[in-house]
Amino acid sequence: MPPLRVAAFQRHPRFDDVAGIGKTLLQDLEWADAKDVDLAVFPECYLQGYAIDRSTIERRALALDDMVLAGLLKRLGGIRATVILGMIERRGDAFYNSALTIKGGVLTGVYSKAHPNEQGFEPGTQFPVFEAASWPFGVNICNDANFPETAGRIANNGARLICYPLNNMLKPETAARWRGKSVENLRAIATQTGCWVASADVVGDHAGLTSYGCTLIVRPDGEIAARATELCEGVAIFDLL
């Protein structure tokens, strides 16, 4: 099996700016293609901006057949890398904290957070395994990392890599408490499952909240192979073997 080059993007959060995020996303993915990246990972709810209250979730949510999303996919048609993109998804009257997998501008799959800690979201119940450059991978989202059995289900389905879109934007005292714990959770998941782990987090300050950024790539033995610098935008990039 050839190496898999993964790039995990640590980015400032933006809210209610799908068009602007689309432009930034395209720029990042053009950079990724120039670096021969096979799989690009972006943060939780990155497309519309993270939300916990039902009214904001309802306002920001997009259905998978929404014309706004169709337009974004069209713009990504020339991108070589497979993309994992966090979004707020509408399905009928229900809402999900989801991550899309996209290849060549085509939506190839969806994972929805199995353990949402936001009251406005329904829990996902499926644990699919996708593929990038012949590598089987799965997705968990943020709070799922506190439930190792969720990663275990993906590993048992054949994944060699588990990707974690994150949003660790928290009250300052809580952010400080989770600064190290988030890293240790991901390292533990790698050793427990025998999988590589890649996470992509938001970073910075917003509305009195802080995220240090927990964007890293972890080897199956729990050692950190690459990490974006805390407190600033950056990319963790590494060739998985």
How many other C-beta atoms are found inside a 10 Å radius of the C-beta of residue 217?
26
211 in helix, strand or coil? strand
Looking only at the bridges linking them, the beta strands covering 204-206 and 209-211 are antiparallel
Cβ–Cβ < 8 Å for 209, 178: no
pLDDT at position 97, please? 98
Q: What is the DSSP string of 10-60?
A: EB----S-HHHHHHHHHHHHHHHHHTT-SEEE--TTTTT----SHHHHHHH
| Per-residue confidence (pLDDT) for residue 1, from 0 to 100 | 78
pLDDT value of position 36: 98
* C-alpha atoms less than 13 angstroms from C-alpha of 20 in its C-beta half-sphere: 9
Return the beta strands (E) in the chain as ranges.
4-10, 39-41, 82-91, 94-103, 106-112, 130-132, 135-139, 161-165, 196-200, 204-206, 209-211, 216-218, 224-227, 234-240
| pLDDT tens over the chain, length 241 residues | 799 999 999 999 999 999 999 999 999 999 999 999 999 999 999 999 999 999 999 999 999 999 999 999 999 999 999 999 999 999 999 999 999 999 999 999 999 999 999 989 999 999 999 999 999 999 999 999 999 999 999 999 999 999 999 999 999 999 999 999 999 999 999 999 999 999 999 999 999 999 999 999 999 999 999 999 999 999 999 999 9
Q: How far is CA 201 from each of CA 59, 219, 227, rounded to the nearest angstrom?
A: 23, 18, 11
Beta bridge partners of 197: 162, 218
Residue 201 near residue 211 (C-beta atoms within 8 A): yes
Confidence (pLDDT) at 84:
98
Model-wide pTM > 0.95: yes
Contact 224, 218 (CB under 8 A): yes
Domains of the chain: 4-240 (3.60.110.10)
Give the number of other Cβ atoms within 10 Å of residue 117's Cβ. 12
What's the rounded Cα separation, in Å, for the pair 151 and 195?
9
